[in-house]
Structure 1
Amino acid sequence: MRDVTAIILAAGFSRRMGDQNKLLLPINGIPMIRHVVEVYGAISTRPVLVVTGHEAEDVAAAIAQSNAIPVFNPAYAQGQPTSVACGLRAADDGCDLLVGLGDQPLLTPKDLRDLLDAHAAANVERISIPVRGEERGNPIVIPSALRARLLADPHSPGCKKFTRANPDHVQFHTLTATGFFTDVDTPEAYSSLINSTMEAAQ
C-alpha cells in the first residue's frame, strides 16, 4: 500500500456514449466508476477522491460503501481542467497525488504500482507520465510540492497546459500495459471491452 492520494475524474458529460453515463455502465457486475475506485483503493492507504459533476448523485451512489469520497465540482461544465483543480484543492497536503480517469477499467493495481515505482526510482520532484511510444497515458503522478503551481493559473488550472509549458518539471516512463492507454468513450468501445472480457473468461 502506498501513501498517495488518488484523484479520479468523473465529472464529464459522457456525450459520446449517447444517452448513457459511461461511468455507470457495468464492468464485472458493478458500475465502471466503482470498479475503477476499487482498483485505485487497492494500492493506497488514503481514501480515493472522486470528482463528480454530471449526474453527481448517481455517481456518488455508485461508489457508496467504498473507500471513496465524492467531491463535487460546481464548474464541471467548463471542462476537465476545473475538475483537476477541484481534486487538487480537496486533497490533503503532504503526499503525492495520483490523478486518473474514471473510464479506464482495464487498469490494474499492478499497473498503478508499476507507475509509482517508476516515479520513486526517478526524480520524485517531477510529474510522472506513462508513455507508449509517442502516446501519453493516464494516470499521472503529481508531487505534493507542485500542487500549488498547478493551481496558480486561474484561467487554466490543472495539468495539461502546465506539463507542456514546463517540460523541466515532467518525466516520462515507458509502461506498456494497455490500461494506461485505453478509455471507454463510445458504445462501440464499451461493446469491444465487454466482448474481450467475456472471451478472456472463457
Structure 2
Amino acid sequence: MSMGIGAVVLAAGMAVRMGRQKLLLPLDGKPMLAHVLEVVAAVPFASRVVVIGEPQEPLAALCQEQGIPSVFNEKRKSGQASSVCLGLAELGDGLDGVLFLQGDQPLITKSLVKRMLEAFYQLQDSKAILVPVHAGVLRSPILFGAHWLKELALLKDDCGGKELVRRYPEHVRTLPWAEPFVFEDADTWEEYLRLQRLLETKSKE
C-alpha cells in the first residue's frame, strides 16, 4: 500500500475549559500528548508534524522523543484554523491526503489509524473525507483527501476540519468503529479523571 498520507497532530489549543495545560497532565505514567505521539510514530506516514503551543519547550521535547517534528503556533489564540494551516504548510505538497489528530485523545489506537489509511486507499477518491463513526456520531480523527488540502489551508478563526465535514456532507465517508473509548478526550478536569479511570480499567483487562 502506498503511504502518501501526512499526519498533523493539533496540540496548540488554549485549554480554556481545563484552565491549565492538559497535554502535559500524567496518564498511565506519561504525559497525555505522549500517548498520541506514540501512535503517530508507529504508523508509516509519509510525513508528520505536531503543532504545539505553550509551554513550548516541554511540548517540543515530547515530540523530539518520538522523532516527530514540531512547530510552534504563534497565532494559536486566533483559533484552530491557524494550527490547521500551519500544519499543512509544514507537511508540504504532493500528499494523497492528511489525517488530523487531536492531542487530547490519548486512547487513540494504532489499529484505528491504520484502518483509516487502508479504508481511504480502498475508496480511491481524492475528494473523500473519511470520518470514524460510533453510535451514529461522527468522531475524530478525520482524514481529508488531497482535493481538500487547499481549502483547509484557507480556513479562518476557530474553524477546523469539521467545518468541511459540515459543508460537504456528500463527500463524507464513514468508518464504523465499535470501540467507544478511543474517541474520549479531555476538555475538563472531570473528563481527565474519567480518562484516568478508563486507563486503569484497561490495564487490568
The verdict on a shared fold, with TM-score over 0.5 as the criterion, is yes
- Structure 1 residue runs of 5 or longer lacking an equivalent are none
Per-residue deviation, 1:153: 5.1
Per-residue deviation, 1:180: 4.5
Q: Which moved more, 1:145-154 or 1:82-91?
A: 145-154
Per-residue deviation, 1:155: 6.3
Runs of 4+ in 1 over 6 A off after TM superposition: none
Query: What residue is the counterpart of 1:23 in the other structure?
Result: 23
Give aligned pairs, total. 201
Q: Map residues 105-120 of structure 1 onto 2, 5 A cutoff.
A: 105-120=106-121
| Native 8 Å contact 1:151 1:157 kept in 2 | no
Query: What residue is the counterpart of 1:93 in the other structure?
Result: 93
Q: Map residues 1-202 of structure 1 onto 2, 5 A cutoff.
A: 2-18=3-19, 20-95=20-95, 96-125=97-126, 126-152=128-154, 158-202=160-204
Q: Percent identity?
A: 33
Change in 2 beyond 3 A, CA 1:65/1:122: same
Per-residue deviation, 1:154: 5.2
Per-residue deviation, 1:158: 4.5
The residue type equivalent to 1:113 in the other structure is K
Change in 2 beyond 3 A, CA 1:77/1:28: same
- What is the CA deviation profile of residues 128-167 of structure 1, one whole-angstrom value per residue up to 9, with x for unaligned ones? 1111243111111112232112224556765232222222
Q: Aligned equivalents of 1:193 and 1:121: distance in 2?
A: 33
Q: SS state of the match for residue 17, structure 2?
A: helix
Q: SS state of the match for residue 36, structure 2?
A: helix
The alignment's TM-score, normalised by the length of structure 2, stands at 0.86
Q: Aligned equivalents of 2:162 and 2:73: distance in 1?
A: 18
Q: Aligned equivalents of 1:192 and 1:180: distance in 2?
A: 13
The alignment's TM-score, normalised by the length of structure 1, stands at 0.87
